[in-house]
Structure 1
Amino acid sequence: MNELTSEQKRLILENKETVEKILNYEETKQEHYDKNNWRMVWDYGDVGCDYRPLHKLYACGVLHLPFGASGKLKNYALKDRRGVKEFLIETNGKTTEIEITKNEKITDELPDDLFNIVSGYSDIKKIFLLSLKSDKPVHILLEGPPASAKSLFLMEIERLGKASVILAGLATSAGIRDVLIDTPEHTIIDEIDKVKDSQDLSSLLSWMESGRIIITKNNNHTEIKGKGWVFAACNT
């Protein structure tokens, strides 16, 4: 297997408790999986870990989806279990500083295998690629029934390392506003139909139309400018 990148090492250390739970689950259950001729897969409920770090660990390549995804259920596994285990042993009890270069954080070139995990939908893949390669933001909204690869498309965008993810059903309006204030290059919003706050929607629309966020506090107005793409999904 390839050596872990500094970005992967950083995320493993930041989410060490979660990664250790995953590693323990896979090593403990491997014999059972082998006896039944099953391939190792799990979701956060099986492992008993926080689901929130899993998106980032998948996006940077620490986790993968052996069988793809179905609806909201993501069947993960460690991509390089031995490499992760060796890194955890090496850094156990040590203060480790990880230097991350700009090229590892943000890759201007799109991966050759981007969207390969999605079966079919060649026309939608083409639209995404045209959007990502555009000099100016081209936003995309995916609307469809559950288990129609919407979340999988959004998860692939996360792999680019430039994305801020919003789960609209769980986020507060202040949380969404705070994300936009950071002017992310790619904003991913799942379940966007659950965003009901008018001010929140107004801020999002302003960002999408003009790349501007205006913050008003104590009669003071602050304008933040940037350029970013918004990719969102909702159920029909």
Structure 2
Amino acid sequence: MTQDRSRIRRMIEAGVPRKALRDLGNLVRYGRGRPLSDECIWIDPRLASERYSRPETGPAYRRRHSGVVADGDWDLSRAPIESGVKIRACRSHFVDGLSWEDTGIVEVMMRRIERHGIFDGCRSRDDVLARYQDIDRMFDEVSRNRRIDPVSKRAERFRREHGGVLVHIDRNGLPMLAGNGNHRMAIARILGLERIPAQLGALHRTAFDNGILQELRRPN
């Protein structure tokens, strides 16, 4: 019973009821080829040179908007991916050889913990250091295996690719990092991986009309 309540609470927090309605609406609008919320797509991380920069006005698409098909200029709100603090820290650490502390990311995390109480599952400096030890192990594993596995292969999987590297797809069919999965994206780019799994975020209507989903659904 406790597990059932926990799962229901997690479904509500992840916006699953609204996503299910979105899936139904997409089926009616776009037919069998419609996008699915939280679905797994496959992207070339080398093409993800920009990140979504949430606009001051207009829609600000997040993980809960997974599967939205949206027209307009929302995808023009972007910045270079290397401007992201976690992306820069990974490059400084794995490429330039700086310690995590010297990259500045530990202090960034501590400021966010002070502000929010918990950030990225961390509540203390020890938690932050342990997290980045895990990132080191991830890098070693991905470097050795030359792949990143979909979330669906993890013991803690929840719904489709929920929890994966979140990307929005712009009008040209290119992925934009959308605020989640920074370390995995950074590692994939540093190691020159050609294909990684990602969680579909928002999808520009022009890219959808041009059939980009057919390509994104192919793992190879």
TM-score where L is the length of structure 2: 0.26
TM-score where L is the length of structure 1: 0.24
Relative to its length, the structure with more helix (as a share) is 2
Q: Which has the higher contact order (CA 8 A, sep 6+)?
A: 2
Relative to its length, the structure with more strand (as a share) is 1
Structure showing greater radius of gyration is 1
